[in-house]
Amino acid sequence: MLEIERAEGVFMYSPTGEKYLDLVSGVSVSNTGHCHPRVVEAVKKQVDLYMHLMVYGEIIQNPQVRYAERLTGILPEELDTCFFVNSGSEAVEGALKLAKRFTGRSRIISFKNSYHGSTHGALSIQGGERLKNPFRPLLPDTLQIDFNDEDAIEAIDTKTACVVVEPIQSEAGVICPGNDFLKKLRQRCTETGTLLIFDEIQTGFGRTGYMFAMKRYNLVPDILVLAKALGGGMPLGAFISSNRIMSVLMTNPPLGHITTFGGHPVCCAAGLASLNVIIEENLVVTCNEKSALFRQELKHPLISGIRGEGLLLAVQLVEPEYVRYVIANSHKYGIILDYFLFCNNAFRIAPPLVIKEEEILWACAQLNKLLDDAFNNIRKK
């Protein structure tokens, strides 16, 4: 494991001065890079004013209100009510509870190879048995269907509370929806009175070349779940819905979802600053140009394909053995790479969106050298 002493922009530095280019962003968190000066300034300013005051929702806290206002201002108008929590898993929990409470139904449908977090509810709907089985029994009445399988959508019926989907499946190895799949899903949910939940925890905040992937597919979910880049490097999650839906958490019982630290003012201040950077530095638009440059520069006989949108890319190699070698040795080439949870023949490229053209060229040259090294080393065995 690497020890890192400080990080700035797209680089991390070890205590002995080695420099590593981050191609992972802490798994789609550091979209504005490490320690962006405007984010750091916002954190410092808020720390000087106040940190924790009271459990969420009891006192009006300016950073929460300002961030919720800014966020809902850039979202479709149906998504006008924001509930802040601490993490992605917690945001998923809140969304599941909201859907059950709103519909009065219990069945939850999600997708194979999806990842939604590690708490009991989020784990129950996750689409990988390996991580789930040791913790059973989990939440009852859940079902995982195949992503991109139109026929499987038939399973959604009037007993289904919600369908939870990543518009682009990240940990599955960046699997994009094909053939109007999400549109058909939206239709089926509307027909059956089922709430559609988009988990944009990884795809949010410009990562896919759109502020949110739902824009790419021109769809609006009933509940949107956000985390990771939401906090600009600080822990923050949110589930966002319409006021009509969200209001059910206020009665029977009142306080239907409680959090002490949810929407921590320092995290909200950081998140708001980071969102403003994404917008003002035009990081969403330039994301696609940067993606094209990676695709153009990454050419190697070991690469059997590159999937994804924007700067959420999966580089598929001819054999999983090469992937293991490349990731294990990436630091020797001054770059940081990572695995996917449910795809062993590809590695992830998801750098901070602030990465510059010359940094992409350098990273790709290093990667191509590393792939040569993998080829020579594994062939020798």
Ligand X SMILES: Cc1ncc(COP(=O)(O)O)c(C=O)c1O
Point out which residues bind ligand X (CB under 6 A).
27, 87-89, 92, 115-117, 166, 170-171, 199, 201-202, 227
In the complex, what is the shortest distance from the CB of residue 104 to ligand X, in angstroms, rounded to a whole number?
26
CA distance 172 to 359: 27
Residue 61's nearest CA partner among 215, 312, 267, 313 is 267
Using the Cα atoms of residue 88, residue 34, residue 339 and residue 283 in order, give the sign of their dihedral: positive
CA distance 309 to 120: 30
In the complex, what is the shortest distance from the CB of residue 245 to ligand X, in angstroms, rounded to a whole number?
20
Ranked by CB distance to ligand X, the top (closest) residue is 88
Rank residues 186 and 228 by Cβ distance to ligand X and give the closer one: 228
Rank residues 121 and 209 by Cβ distance to ligand X and give the closer one: 121
Rank residues 145 and 350 by Cβ distance to ligand X and give the closer one: 350
In the complex, what is the shortest distance from the CB of residue 211 to ligand X, in angstroms, rounded to a whole number?
17
Cα-to-chain-centroid distance, residue 147: 17
Phi and psi angles of residue 288, each rounded to the nearest 5 degrees, phi first: -70, -40
Residues in the chain, overall count = 381
Rank residues 195 and 374 by Cβ distance to ligand X and give the closer one: 195
Residue 240's nearest CA partner among 227, 259, 250 is 227
Dihedral (Cα; 307, 281, 355, 273), 10-degree rounding? -100
Rank residues 325 and 342 by Cβ distance to ligand X and give the closer one: 342
Rank residues 64 and 87 by Cβ distance to ligand X and give the closer one: 87
Chain position carrying tokens 């519909």: 103
Q: Which residues pair with 190 in a beta bridge?
A: none
In the complex, what is the shortest distance from the CB of residue 227 to ligand X, in angstroms, rounded to a whole number?
5
Q: Which residues pair with 240 in a beta bridge?
A: 82, 224
Name the token pair of 115: 């990842």
Counting Cβ atoms within 10 Å, is residue 285 exposed (0-12), middle (13-18) or buried (19+)? exposed
Rank residues 92 and 182 by Cβ distance to ligand X and give the closer one: 92
In the complex, what is the shortest distance from the CB of residue 346 to ligand X, in angstroms, rounded to a whole number?
16
Which residues are within 8 A (CB) of 342 and not within 5 positions of it... i.e. 6 or more apart?
113, 115, 127, 128, 171, 172, 173
In the complex, what is the shortest distance from the CB of residue 301 to ligand X, in angstroms, rounded to a whole number?
31
In the complex, what is the shortest distance from the CB of residue 91 to ligand X, in angstroms, rounded to a whole number?
8
